[in-house]
Amino acid sequence: MTDAGTNWAGNISYAAERLVAPRTLEELAEIVVSEPKVRVLGSRHSFNRIADTPGVLVSLAALDETPQLDTDRATVRVPGGLRYGDLAPWLHERGWALRNLASLPHISVAGAVATGTHGSGERIGSLATQVAALELLTADGEVVRMARGDEDFDGAVVSLGALGIVTALELDVVPTYDIAQTVYEGVRWDAALAAFDELQRSGDSVSLFTTWRSADDIDQVWVKTRGAAPDLRAIGGAPADGPRHPLPGIDPAPCTVQGGVPGPWYDRLPHFRLAFTPSAGEELQSEYLVPRADAPAAIAALRALAPRIAPLLQVCEVRTIAADRLWLSPAYEADSLALHFTWLLDEAGVTALLPELEAALPRTARPHWGKVFTMPSAEIAARYPRWVDFSGLRDRLDPQRRFGNAFLDDLGLG
């Protein structure tokens, strides 16, 4: 028996009876058909039990595959267990790139896609929207390929690991490009909200960071752009006088290059460098996506709750994401505003606060699947128009619930 260990933050100890790392698809298929309960463990960056199982946890890290670039179709086929931080320089060396990356390059491709993980950019969708096709090892040990345009594709991409094991994905790629990152200080919420659309259009990716120690001030605005750095003086913004970490007072060495210096896309779009552990220490994370139309109400709710949020918070990040058509994507059919919270590792305090926070947000808010939330399953299901369709797809692909676990049961997907 191999101890499955903990997640990245250390707040979850996996209950699996063992962790295995098959080296071939044949070995993986044999595990799937012979075990009653199987789940895949990616980069361990989920903060809840979405990856847990009472049965066997599978790591895809040992599968012997390399990326395969198809320049005619502008796609790259990658193994599901590959990290974005390893894929990105490989693509760049060959003259290609991804349209966007998340704030961490440390996460696995399949795990990020399955949970609807995203970067920032009002014209750019989540990482899952880059998927052109996927290969899914189903409960009967067979591999099924689904491509964009296929009947079940939109339901299978953000899958929560409930449909099978994604062994490979084909991602859209674009010609490589440079991008520059500038951090601004001095912006206040009233000014930012009055010019919110213009602020979001000022870069390819825009992030607003606040500790909520003040309900009026934004601590930092990070703008990543292919063009010239924007002038934010009209809303009170001035470029920082040196590198910054999103968390006040933390050494910025783990962060990607700032100061408006252009560089490769993969070394600017993430907030953190692959060579560093991107954390100030133990933490919890929550995130909620609301439609852009509800952004003013959502920010107003957080400003009102600032005195309750701040004592439990390390930092809050506010970003935008373009709408998509993926059934269980938190950005389904809605250009969205993402409200991300990096909490102190105070499970009791955070758990007590979250129902109050969730009740204060617009009733359109959808939680990130890999973070901590307390929203009742019936409320979550009601916020996804294709929830019943996804449940039916799961009935067809995993009728015996081989890939099920308590997390999915709690969502009503048992």
Q: Is the dihedral of CA 86, 251, 320, 8 positive or negative?
A: positive
> What domains does the chain contain, in order, with CATH numbers?
68-176 (3.30.465.10), 178-378 (3.30.70.2520)
Residues lower than pLDDT 70 in the chain: 1-2, 278-281
| 276-309 pLDDT tens trace | 876 655 899 999 999 999 999 999 999 999 999 9
In angstroms, the CA 297 to CA 82 distance is: 38
Bridge partners (DSSP) listed for residue 208: 221, 318
CA distances from 170 to 78, 79, 113, 150, 279 (A): 6, 9, 12, 14, 30
- What local confidence, expressed as pLDDT, does residue 1 receive? 45
Structure tokens at 371: 């973070």
Does this model's pTM top 0.85? My answer is yes
Q: What are phi and psi of 340, to 5 degrees?
A: -110, 135
Determine the pLDDT at residue 65. 80
Q: Residue 149 corresponds to which tokens in the numbers above?
A: 């345009």
166-219 pLDDT, tens per residue?
999 999 999 999 999 999 999 999 999 999 999 999 999 999 999 999 999 999
Read off φ and ψ for residue 109, nearest 5 degrees: -65, -50
Q: What is the pLDDT of residue 186?
A: 98
